[in-house]
Amino acid sequence: MRLVKALSATIVVLVSQSTLLAQSSQPSQASPSTSVPRLIKITGVFRPADGLPAVAVETVTLSIYADPEGGTPLWRETQTIPIDAQGRYALLLGATRPDGIPAEVFGGEGAQWLGTAFERAGEVEGPRTRLTSVPYAIRAADADTLGGRPASEYLRAPGAGDTKDRQANAATAETGPASNDVVLAGTPNFLAKYVTTADVGNSGVFEAADGSIGLGTGATQPFDRLHIRYNNNTGDFTGIAVQNTSGGGLAYSGMLFYDHTNALTQFQGYNNITHEYRINNIARVSPGGAFNGSINFMLGGSSRFLVHPTLGIAMNAPVAISAGAADTGLFVNSSGTIGVSVENTNPAGTAIYGLGQPLDAVGVFGDTDDGIGVLGFALHPATGWAGYFDGDVNVTGVLFKGAGAFRIDHPLDPEHKYLNHSFVESPDMKNIYDGVAVLDESGEATVTLPDWFEALNQDFRYQLTPMGAPFVPYIAQEIADNQFTIAGGIPGKKVSWQVTGVRHDAFANANRIQVEEIKPDAAVGTYLHPQAFGQSTNTVLATPSAQDQKPQPTDAVKARLRAISQKPEKK
């Protein structure tokens, strides 16, 4: 449509509570007192600061200032206005006075600003907005008169270059009809724009009846409060571009999220300097309270990766973590009781599987300063294993255990039975050596031991048993230069001998076993094997307080862990 000169005009004024539209219209011929009514039409949307919906009738104060901030109002009025369900309203500024806004308000040369404040708890006057051309037209009311007489009483003298039509119009100007207000046609709910330097048409911005905004959606109801629709198959456009042009160390481009109480609860954005993309949930139980928000990555309505304030990080199968050339594929740093908790509910599955490739790599590595590097629990010892090793196991330190045994397939019935044997225990680091010696013609035998024997052992003990006939053999020469001599036997007969020695190598000397030990304070009242003493509560895990929480060790179990992790002092 063609933009024409009209006696009606429109101004858009933005304030914190609402979006205002001010419109002033005037008839073409009237006396100076009525040619420009000193009323400004204001429409907008009120969104209360307390997050509650606006009531049907609200009280609003509108003030006109000579300054953008501070100062006293040039003029002010308070009105009671109706508000619809969406918070929209309309009013006439100046309607509380018979003659509207006083003419002297716009009598100066400086600019004026409009401030708006709704009279309800928590509301304050928002940032002021500068008034533009339409309200200032009030100040130009005398432009309708020339010396107090309307322009229609004057006749322009025809010029030599005027057309006949213009001369005719000038000649009949006094009796011509009064001009009417011009209404520019458009499409409802579409924002207008200049399509040329003179023509106004529809833009691509559509506002539905519920206040939803559509960009490129046509007149279709937007899918959400803001709906952007476009067609691009090259990947050049993603819908929204956010750019922060600052080069500061804290320059982020992103989004902020607020809850219904107007509290900032989450931030996500990209840092221009560190190139970090950050998702930060800062929701709290209450203002200043503990953080209780979570971040949940879901697929098809199921959680796949959960960051939780108490659980830490929870991942649900299937899960794969792949690392490149970095030393660590997965690093977990926790100050809680459990750093990593993995649960597999598949009876044939594996909770944690470690595979080291190539052959000299480590599948599972545990390291600790004063605690436990790798901990395994068997909740049902009769059927489960706290640890199971299929292959050789190398322990370079001291192995503490409740008991020891070997288990093999039974030699006589390997298909149906096991054969178990217990270890031989001692309070000393004792080695056992034995053999059979044949006595010479003197009834004696010298037994030669390995060349490392005395370097490894000390405090020897001997046991001799005659074979083939009764006699009384004895140790004629104790161990020296890694050999000992048996005598007192019958020539040609045999003697079964056994020698034990206590280790005195460097490792043994540095790691003597303390036979009796006082429990540390943290372990007093707890048991390494509570079931054997009729104490069952120490090994029961706490019942989950919610469905999504995993069982946690009780205080008694934690005390056991502390007791186990505290190594005895070396004497």
Is residue 147 exposed (0-12), middle (13-18) or buried (19+ Cβ within 10 Å)?
A: exposed
Tens of pLDDT, residue by residue over 194-203, are: 888 878 888 8
Share the mean pLDDT of the chain: 78
The DSSP call for residue 460 is E
Name the least confident of 41-50, 222-231, 456-465, 545-554.
545-554
Report whether pLDDT(115) > 70: yes
Q: Do domains 9-153 and 430-510 have the same CATH topology?
A: yes
Output 235 or 334, whichever has higher pLDDT.
235
Q: How do the domains of the chain map onto residue ranges?
A: 9-153, 430-510, 521-565
Which pTM does this prediction carry?
Answer: 0.44
Mean pLDDT on 361-386: 76
Highest CATH level, class, for 430-510: mainly beta
What is the b/e burial string over 504-513, where b = at least 16 CB atoms within 10 angstroms of the residue's CB? eeeebeeeee
Tens of pLDDT, residue by residue over 491-525, are: 999 999 999 999 999 999 999 989 998 988 888 88
Amino acid at 268: Q
Please, which pLDDT band fits residue 481 given cuts at 50, 70 and 90?
A: very high
- The sign of the torsion formed by the CA atoms of 147, 152, 154, 156 equals positive
Please tell me the CATH code under which domain 9-153 is placed: 2.60.40
Report whether pLDDT(565) > 60: no
Distance CA 385, CA 407 (A): 14
* pLDDT the model gives residue 324: 53
* pLDDT the model gives residue 392: 87
Please report, rounded to a whole number, the percentage of residues in the chain having pLDDT higher than 70.
73
Output 109 or 45, whichever has higher pLDDT.
45
Mean pLDDT on 209-223: 90
Q: Are 166 and 158 in contact (CB under 8 A)?
A: yes
Tens of pLDDT, residue by residue over 119-167, are: 988 898 888 888 775 554 555 555 555 555 555 555 555 555 555 555 5
* pLDDT the model gives residue 250: 87
Distance CA 253, CA 246 (A): 10
Distance CA 216, CA 201 (A): 15
